[in-house]
Structure 1
């Protein structure tokens, strides 16, 4: 089943066209990875899905419903969460306050909080600490935790491993595998070794266009294709 479908999506920022006829389908369940070089249009794609920028022309459908012109808040209420590259946390609020703020009614379900603490034990240890005092890896954990503090069907995650230590990256991969058991993840990532361990399906975007779609297993097995599309020497 297709959960998210992008069709001929074009997005302009000011007078500049960033996306050109971007289209791909994200099946429900598991991790779909969007790869590409710096400046290829990956973040713009996520922001366009969330309604932060409006594609015109083109369309975005979620679970069969056209959400192209919907407001960001309404898109979020449909069960879509967004973890931006800058993490989007509130530094002067505590860990718990950040989580409460991400809920619809200002109350945390104890069962979901228990699950989050199991995924990210540091957030339980530092729940009364202001977010600015956390390490980079802990801030990223908090950002992801905010996205899953309530049930979501689709989670958009932008560059979660950027600047993180290898041990934290490994812990993040384990958490994503667990999260993907009951939600779909659309992951933008430049760390190919991280992405290949998680992704089932994938697409490559370059210069605002989708230049490849397929299974991650097939792409990971083709070093020449990786080098041509991503500039990697695997």
Structure 2
């Protein structure tokens, strides 16, 4: 079942045309990975889906509903969360306050909160600490925790492993595997080893266009194609 469908999506930022016709379908469940070199248009794709930049009309549908013209808040209410590359947390607020802001009613569902504690023990440990004082890995955990504190059908996550220590990357991977059992993840990631360990399906973006789609297993097995599309070396 297709959860998110992107069809010939074009996005202009000011006078510049950044996306020239992006198309891919994200099936329900698991992790779908967007790959591509720096500047290919991956972040712009996520921001366009989320309504932060307005894409062309009738180019994004979620659970069969056209998202054209919707603002970011309305898109979020449909059940989509976004974890940007800069994490989007509030450094002057505590961990608890950051999570409260991400709830619909300002109160926690205790079962969901316990799930977050289980996934990210640092959240409970640093509950009363201001977010600025956390390490980079802990801030990323908080950013993901904010995305799942309410039930979501889809989470868009941009470059979650950037600058993180290998041990934190491994812990993040385990958390994403668990999250993806109940919530679909659309992941932008430069760390190919991390991406292929999680991804079920994938697409490669180049110069604002999708140039390849398929299974992650098939792409991971084709080193020649990886080298051609991503510049990866065997």
Q: Say whether the fold is shared (TM-score over 0.5).
A: yes
Between the two proteins, the alignment pairs up a number of residues equal to 234
CA contact (8 A) 1:33 1:186 kept: yes
SS of the residue 2:129 aligns to: coil
CA distance in 2, matches of 1:142, 1:73: 20
CA contact (8 A) 1:21 1:58 kept: no
CA contact (8 A) 2:9 2:59 kept: yes
CA contact (8 A) 1:51 1:71 kept: yes
Partner of 1:175: 175
Q: How far apart are residue 56 of structure 1 and its match?
A: 2.0
Question: How big is the alpha-carbon RMSD for the aligned residues of Structure 1 and Structure 2?
Answer: 0.7
* Structure 1: unaligned runs, 5 residues or longer: none
Partner of 1:133: 133
Q: How far apart are residue 68 of structure 1 and its match?
A: 2.0
Partner of 1:6: 6
SS of the residue 1:20 aligns to: strand
CA contact (8 A) 1:10 1:58 kept: no
Provide runs of 4+ in structure 1 moved above 3 Å.
none
CA distance in 2, matches of 1:164, 1:110: 29
Tell me the TM-score normalized by structure 2.
0.99
Partner of 2:32: 32
CA distance in 2, matches of 1:194, 1:127: 28
1:218 paired to 2:225: no
CA contact (8 A) 2:41 2:205 kept: yes
Alignment deviations for residues 22-53 of structure 1 (CA, whole Å, 9 cap, x no partner): 00000000000000110000000000000011
